[in-house]
Amino acid sequence: MHRRNFFKWTGLGALGLALYGCGRNNKTLSQNRYYSGPTTDHFDGTYFYNSKDQVTAPMSDLLKWKLFGNRAKWPEHFVSPYSANVPETSLPAKTLRVTMIGHASLLIQMHGLNILTDPVYSKRVSPLQYIGPWRHNPPGVAFEALPKIDVVLVTHNHYDHLDIATLARLIARDNPQIYTPLGNDTIIHKDIQAANVQTGDWGDVFTHKSGCKIHFEPCQHWSARGTNDRRMALWSAFVLESTYHKIYHIGDTGFGTGDNYRKVAAKHDGFDLAILPIGAYEPRWFMEEAHQNPAEAVAGLQLCKARYGLGHHWGTFQLTDEAVEAPKRALADALAKQALTEDRFSAMQPGQVWQLPV
């Protein structure tokens, strides 16, 4: 079997290994390799979790999906209708602009800062260079066209969000301040000792030297880089708070009961913008716990009281069963059902630029 077809069946790499890591605690390991700290309501001394009554998928469910799932065929190239973008080097502090790079990588320009989320410029999202999900479109901003990056947000350690090769390039060029949840600093520093990393737990807040505040907020997900480190590093959402704007950014999440959205709205009193994942959600019986679908993302937009939403995590790397344009179509349907205009929540594609209306 050709190794690409083998990958398509197995789902190894970014999602396959991550999903394998979503099962119950690995009884062969008794010590967390990434983080040591006190127990909390989401850390038992070895493993992080979403709630004490968390139910996670066993390995048999992964095999069931791979054996009996109905995986849509993506085109070899899913070309964005937007040209590769060359962002301005800096913008006024009152301007809020977001440029889509691809998947979960976005350039946020606010408070005079250039902020990258989950930067991935590699051709594959996998622990191996020759197998794993590959790009179906080039980055919407070439690496060389990126302005000097001040801040990097890494939401969790899955390969489609934490890409060591890209981080190494950014650190060598710009030495940005990296914010990431507990334990992920160990992963980054293993390969990039010079990385300037600030870790945080849910509820922590840090003030960047520019004055912009970075809040770590809960989201419903998991972590794994391989088969023996499941839930040993934390995952989180972020809130970016400046003098003029407030952004809620989630890299990956399940919707659950919607409580995370309700609580973040109560805490922050709404947002100018919510950047929410809308892809990697089929089949629902397997993906629902950790990946919300577009209809749930629309519900989340309303629950967190955001003026506008941007949808990401779709159309670049095929991780699950849905067709390449299904998230965009489903988002439009969900907005229509809620009598919301399409400009309220946009499914972003590489090179696309969004700016907060004045």
Domain map (residue ranges) of the chain? 97-355
Give the pLDDT mean for 283-307: 97
**Is residue 109 within a helix (H) or strand (E), and if so which, with residue range?**
strand 105-110
Question: Would you place residue 5 in the very low, low, confident or very high pLDDT band (cuts 50, 70, 90)?
Answer: very low
Predicted confidence at residue 70, as pLDDT, reads 85
Contact 166, 120 (CB under 8 A): yes
CA distance 24 to 180: 24
Q: Is the pTM of this model over 0.85?
A: yes
CA distance 208 to 112: 12
Architecture of domain 97-355: 4-Layer Sandwich (3.60)
Question: Would you place residue 169 in the very low, low, confident or very high pLDDT band (cuts 50, 70, 90)?
Answer: very high
**How far, rounded to the nearest angstrom, does the alpha carbon of residue 218 sit from its chain's CA centroid?**
13
Predicted confidence at residue 36, as pLDDT, reads 97
Question: Would you place residue 195 in the very low, low, confident or very high pLDDT band (cuts 50, 70, 90)?
Answer: very high
Among residues 132, 158, 119, the alpha carbon closest in space to that of 22 is found at 158
- Cβ-Cβ contacts under 8 Å for 300 (sequence gap 6 or more): 255, 258, 261, 274, 276, 292
SS3 (DSSP) at 251? coil
Give the pLDDT mean for 34-47: 97
CA distance 300 to 279: 14
Among residues 53, 56, 52, 54, the alpha carbon closest in space to that of 23 is found at 56
- Percentage of the chain with pLDDT > 90? 85
CA distance 316 to 172: 26
Question: Would you place residue 13 in the very low, low, confident or very high pLDDT band (cuts 50, 70, 90)?
Answer: very low
Indicate if the pLDDT at residue 60 is higher than 80: no
Using alpha carbons only, give the angle 213, 161, 230 rounded to the nearest 5 degrees: 105
Indicate if the pLDDT at residue 304 is higher than 90: yes
Indicate if the pLDDT at residue 178 is higher than 90: yes
CA distance 137 to 81: 11
CA distance 233 to 183: 5
- Cβ-Cβ contacts under 8 Å for 149 (sequence gap 6 or more): 114, 115, 116, 170, 173, 174, 176
- Terminal C-alpha separation, the chain: 55
Indicate if the pLDDT at residue 65 is higher than 90: no
Which of 53-67, 205-219, 222-236, 291-305 is predicted least confidently? Answer: 53-67
